[in-house]
Structure 1
Amino acid sequence: MRSSRRHPLLVPALLCAFAVLAARPTEASDTGGDSGLGAEVARLYADAAVATRQYEAGRREADAQRARAQRFEALLDQRRAEIAVLHEDLGRIARAQYRDGGGMPVTAQIILARSPDELMRGQHVFSRTNLAVNNAIDKSRRAEARLAADQEKASTAWRDLDRRNTELAVLKKDIEEKLEEARARLQGRADASVAAGSCRGAVRLDQPETHFATRWVAPVETYELSASYGSGGERWARRHTGQDFAVPIGTPVRAVGEGRVVRVSCGGPFGIEIVLEHAGGYYTQYAHLAAVAVDQGERVSTGQWVGQSGTTGNSTGPHLHFEVRVTPESGSAVDPSSWLAAREVNLG
């Protein structure tokens, strides 16, 4: 069963910022170094997240503005229908007045009236009715004019938002294309490292500011769970020894807790891998990476980026293979989901 967890990203919401992001140079293609390429991929991930977030916000705003324009249109239709009814009422009153003598000249009405009071009452009733209907029509027309102006404003705002969102979609696509190309180059260099059996060195990434409320976190921020601990498969001699997180190539991989890097290797079935030692005699492994961001012997803190995901070694697609062990070596793994859950990290 596949499961996913999504975490919100806090990003600015300015269209001009995306124009800057789309135009930013790709330093790694110039330097040719792993460090520059890995940093480029990490930066493009952040840029793509910003673009996606702003695109989605713009789309929701455009949908809301479109709904407002449609509501104004419905109100206009209702107001027009009310005015039509008022016109019809005025017509009926005029016809009734004509049949009752209201349409006769004033001289004839004076002659035929049975008394001055009857004449005055008839004239007064007709005048009041006529004035009330006219006032109602004028009021409705003014309201219709206001609604029409509001509807035009809403429609204009909706068209502007739609145009802006189209521009954002183009910028978003451009960033994603750059990211896909950078991912392919990063994975290509990782494969070369694995083939040579030698890591190229740590990719020093710009670490994000993090303030975790707990001592432990999941190894990646956004993911889908794939192969779980103990599951069977043709690729494993016995049973799967870890938890797989399906993530794209270049995704930043985090230390689940503070500890020390005890192994960085670039060959064998795990491809590029890192093993961390934690307090209490436990070790965590991060395998099938495309790049490492730490050196052996280095101390790491909770949530620190220690590498970038890939598909090196015995891997059929981009993912992070995560293990928890009681020794640094293979064959001593425990269920990582239960281990993390005991530390208040639930892989939903």
Structure 2
Amino acid sequence: MSRSYAQERREARAQRIERDRLRTALHRERRMAAALRRAAGSIASAQYRTGSIVAYTLRTAGPGSGKSLARAHEEADRRERALAARAHSAGQASRALAGASATAAARAAVLAERRDHLKTARTRVKRGLRAARGELRKLAATAARSGSCGGLPRAASRAAVEAAPAPVPRGKWTRPVEHYRLTAPFGGAGGHWADGHTGQDFAVPVGTPVRSIGSGRIVSLTCGDGFGISMVVRHRRGWYSQYAHLSAALAVPGERVGAGERIALSGDTGNSTGPHLHFEVRRKPSRGSSVDPVAWLRKRGVRV
């Protein structure tokens, strides 16, 4: 929806520019046509008064020009034909520009109406998305307190998985989320971390799909501690990835997942200062063995 709205705005602006250009060209052509008609009128007036167009040509050429009568007659005749042709072309151009200008103006009006319609629809979608995110936060908080770890109804989980993009090819790695902003880095100090920050935070809205960075098996789904709703996936060669502060899980322990497969929705549960995904890469499933996840992904060809 947002891309269509932006495209419509760009197209409407281009149509307005084209409409203004055509109007300017139309005015210029009309002025030229008027000037040509005045020049042709002068020739016709001279011919009427003198009975010959040659007299007008000789007068405009000036005395002592040395032109013969035959050459003067040919020159006058050539100029008259050229003026008539230019006046005809100018008239055709004026009519064509007038039609194009009217078409551009009509197109701009249609695009403006569509732009307003898309703007209204976009506002309506945003309101619905805010309401859905608010409801998801409430459900996640309730689930975390009850110890259910925020699993969604199976139908909702299946719909989210079916809407996911195609999995990453086997043996490849990917980012845990898309359209994010990096915030607290690995190793950062602060009041929220007793021994330094053990992962990388990705600032994303509540409900953002969280993807497994690689193929593997879900080994744990926990809730109620500082990580809130949290999931750990075991990958080949003994590597583990953790996804914390979730609002809902789309998979369960023991389930195999592919690289890029959606496994959860981001949230704001646990010891969190705002909506984001806390992401870790570890050598063991338990805490205390984490490495810099951004550097780890970059070594595997994933830019973060």
Q: Same fold (TM over 0.5)?
A: yes
Q: CA deviation at 1:241?
A: 1.0
- The CA deviation at 1:313 is 0.9
Shift in Å, 1:196:
2.6
2:144–2:150: 8 Å Cα contact kept in structure 1?
A: no
For 1:238 and 1:77, how far apart are their aligned partners in 2? 75
Q: CA deviation at 1:167?
A: 0.6
1:65–1:153 Cα change, 3 Å: same
User: Is 2:167–2:259's contact at 8 Å kept on the other side of the alignment?
Assistant: no
TM-score (norm. length: structure 1):
0.75
1:275 deviates by: 0.6
Q: Which residue of 2 aligns with 1:312?
A: 269
Deviations 1:291-348 (A, max 9, x none): 011111111111111100011111111111100011111221100001111111110x
Match of 1:14 in 2: none
- Could you tell me how far apart the structure 1 residues matched to 2:239 and 2:90 are? 77
The residue type paired with residue 331 of structure 1 is G
SS of the counterpart of 2:237? Answer: coil
**1:277 counterpart = 2:227:** no
* Identity in percent: 39
For residues 324 and 85 of structure 1, the distance between their equivalents in structure 2, rounded to whole angstroms, comes to: 79
1:337 paired with 2:294, answer yes
Equivalent residue for 2:192, pick from 235, 251, 256: 235
2:91 — aligned with what? 141
CA–CA distance in structure 1, aligned partners of residues 217 and 69 of structure 2: 106
Deviation at residue 229 of structure 1 after TM alignment: 0.8
C-alpha distance in structure 2 between counterparts of 1:133 and 1:305, whole Å = 74
CA contact (8 A) 2:246 2:264 kept: yes
Q: Which residue of 2 aligns with 1:289?
A: 246
Query: Any runs of at least 4 consecutive aligned residues in structure 1 with deviations exceeding 4 A, and if so which?
Result: 87-91, 117-124
Tell me which residue corresponds to 1:210. 166
Letter in 1 for 2:296: W
Contact 2:214–2:259 (CA under 8 A) maintained in structure 1: yes
Greater RCO (Cα-Cα under 8 Å, separation 6 or more): 1
Q: Deviations over 1:207-241 (max 9, x none)?
A: 22405356111001221111111122222223111
> How many angstroms does 1:127 deviate by?
3.8
Alpha carbons of 1:139 and 1:57: their partners in 2 closer, same or farther (altered >3 Å)? same
Partner Cα distance (1:61, 1:258) in 2 = 43
What are structure 2's unaligned runs of at least 5 residues?
A: 56-66
1:141-197 Cα distance to aligned partner (Å, 9 max, x none):
111110110111112112111111111111111111111101000001111122233
Structure 1: runs of 5 or more not aligned? 1-50, 110-116
Match in the other structure for 1:198: 148
Cα distance in 1 for partners of 2:283, 2:18 equals 60
Query: Contact 1:309–1:318 at 8 Å: present in 2 too?
Result: yes
Within 1, Cα distance between the matches of 2:167 and 2:268? 30
Q: Structure 1 residues 306-315 or 201-210, which shifts more? A: 201-210
Partner of 1:263: 220
Q: Which of these residues, 169, 179, 188, is aligned with residue 129 of structure 2?
A: 179
**Root mean square deviation, CA, Å:** 2.4
Question: What is the aligned residue count?
Answer: 284
Q: Give the structure-2-normalised TM-score.
A: 0.85
Does structure 2 retain, via aligned residues, the 8 Å contact 1:202–1:295? Answer: no
Alpha-carbon separation, structure 2, partners of 1:119 and 1:301? 95
Partners of 1:80 and 1:235 in 2: how far apart?
Answer: 74
